[in-house]
A and B are shown apart, each in its own frame.
Chain A
Amino acid sequence: MLLHQETLAMKILIVDDSPTMRRIVSNNLREIGYTQVTEAEDGEDAMTKLAEDTYDLVITDWNMPNMDGLQLTLAIRRHERLHTLPVLMVTTRGLKQDVIAAMQAGVNGYVVKPFAADVLKDKISLILNYREHIAS
């Protein structure tokens, strides 16, 4: 799937308590062409960063201290300004009940770890291209 320049210019927030995973996802995004990538180490840190700046996509892990990915998604969906912000869950949790719970919380995409580069790329571009399509 081709990515437009505007799509590649979008700002992405990566939320994961594992520095390794943050780095892997971040490097992978840069490899795809996304240059505006910010990192947060848990849901609380993410909410602080989301309050300080505007983002186009949140990529979050599920299991994190303080505020996990599901709680973060719920907090975003309830937030007056952020409630339409797309959320992509990237997690080791691959049970049906997990996926359904994530959908209920309002995630827009779900990637199971360990992921392949093309899977992450496809999910992100689907979400962002769809958002662009809606905006236009």
Chain B
Amino acid sequence: MTPSQINDMLGKMDEVRNVFVMSQRSLPFLEELFRFLKEISPTLDEINRYIEETARKMPRATTQLQSVSEANRLATTEILDMVDIVIARIEEIRALVEQGARLDTALADADDRILLLLREQLQDSHAVLLADVEQLLLRKDAIRKKRIALSEPLFDGLNEIRDRANRIMLSLQVQDITAQQITAVNHLIESIRSRMHLLVSRINPAGYDGTVEPETAAVSTTFDPDASYDHTPDRQSMVDAIFEGQADALPEENVSMAKSARTENDALPSPLSGRMSLSDSKNDLTGVPESGGDGYEGTVAHLSRNAPSPPNSEKASQDEIDRLFNGKQ
């Protein structure tokens, strides 16, 4: 054995010694790890059971939310029925009052004709009697005018009730909006359930019986995830600003889209635009996005899905609307 071979052997032995030292040092850590895994195992089983149980409860939550939505819809229909009846009754009362007014006018005409006849027949022979009749008819006319005056606030009241009934009807738009909000929540629950299904099947593939499998078909997918019952005029003002050709005032990322929209929409001009001209009436549809294979897919079709809103798709604030109008963006 040469000295270099001896040196090599000594080097290898040193490495082996290092391994032993390393193993000796890591042994307590490995023991600790084994102990931890042994302890965590029942906890993992517990978590697994909890996830399975929660996932099983989710369809019930979805069904309950759908019941809420359905009850809301039925109640709204009942209110709409009532509003329709109220409006119909108002119209009946208005018609009766108007009929009464017409009868009053006819009575007044008849009185005028009676007075005319009496004047012709009795003027010379019964002057006193004629004067009395004239006085009576004048009193009658004054009473009739008072009654007409009383019916004016009645008309005002009927108009006000009708206006308020219409406002109630418009407020019932809340049903459509809450239905979309509930559908959005249901969609979210189904997404979580789907993830849980995946998790459970991965944690315990042998014990998994598939009972938490997602039932996404049960949830409608036609909803606006950002639907809100917002009565402020801000959003409509923003829409009107865009339609009025304020594209130049939009944030940079929207400018090209908006300008493009104006060009393409010139085929059927926006009547809301303050820049309308007769030349806008041409029916040149060359700018309209072409269809895809199914006949309905256009260049904007991706925006019609229920995808979550990207970060730059904010709702307009009043300040922003002011900037849109003033072109100070």
* A binding-site residues for B, Cβ under 8 Å: 17-21, 23-24, 27-28, 31, 62-65, 67-71, 74-75, 77-78, 83-84, 86, 91-101, 103-117, 119, 123, 126-127, 129-131, 134
Contact = CB atoms under 8 A, between A and B. Distances in A.
6 contacts: A24-B170, A65-B220, A70-B304, A94-B236, A106-B265, A114-B170
- Name, among A20, A28, A107, the residue most crowded by chain B CB atoms within 10 Å (CB to CB): A20
B270 A113 contact: no
B314 A95 contact: yes
A101 B300 contact: yes
Interface stretch (B108-116, B129-137, B148-156, B227-235): B227-235
B84 interface: yes
Nearest to B304: A70
A33 to B, nearest CB: 13
Contacts of B80: 20, 23-24, 27
Nearest to A124: B271
B299 to A, nearest CB: 7
Contact of A103 (B73, B84, B262): B262
Interface in B147-188: 166-167, 169-177, 179-180
Given A31-B166, A67-B296, A127 B222 contact: no
A70 B281 contact: no
B16 to A, nearest CB: 67
Judged by DSSP, the binding face of A is: helix
B242 interface: yes
A126 B243 contact: no
Interface string B275-302: 0101001010100110100011111110
Interface of B: 73, 76-77, 80, 84, 166-167, 169-177, 179-180, 220-224, 226-231, 235-236, 238-239, 242-243, 250-251, 254, 257-258, 260-262, 264-265, 267-272, 276, 278, 281, 283, 285, 288-289, 291, 295-301, 303-304, 306, 309-310, 312-316
Closest 3 CB pairs of A and B: A130-B271, A103-B261, A94-B235
Nearest to B320: A96
B239 A68 contact: no
A98 B265 CA distance: 15
Please indicate which of the listed interface residues A99, A104, A116 has the most CB atoms of chain B within 10 Å of its own CB: A104
Residue of B167, B239, B257, B285 ringed by the most chain A CB atoms within 10 A: B239
B267 A106 contact: yes
Nearest to B77: A20
A92 B76 contact: no
Contact of A95 (B170, B260, B268, B309): B309
B313 A97 contact: yes
Contacts of A99: 238-239, 242-243
Nearest to B235: A94
A94 B315 contact: yes
Contacts of A75: 295-296
B45 to A, nearest CB: 42
B242 A100 contact: yes
Contacts of B173: 20-21, 24, 113-115
Contacts of B303: 70, 97-98, 101
A134 B278 CA distance: 7
A86 to B, nearest CB: 7
B247 to A, nearest CB: 8
A8 to B, nearest CB: 17
B176 A96 contact: no
Contact of B222 (A65, A83, A114): A65
Given A70-B303, A106-B268, A19 B77 contact: yes
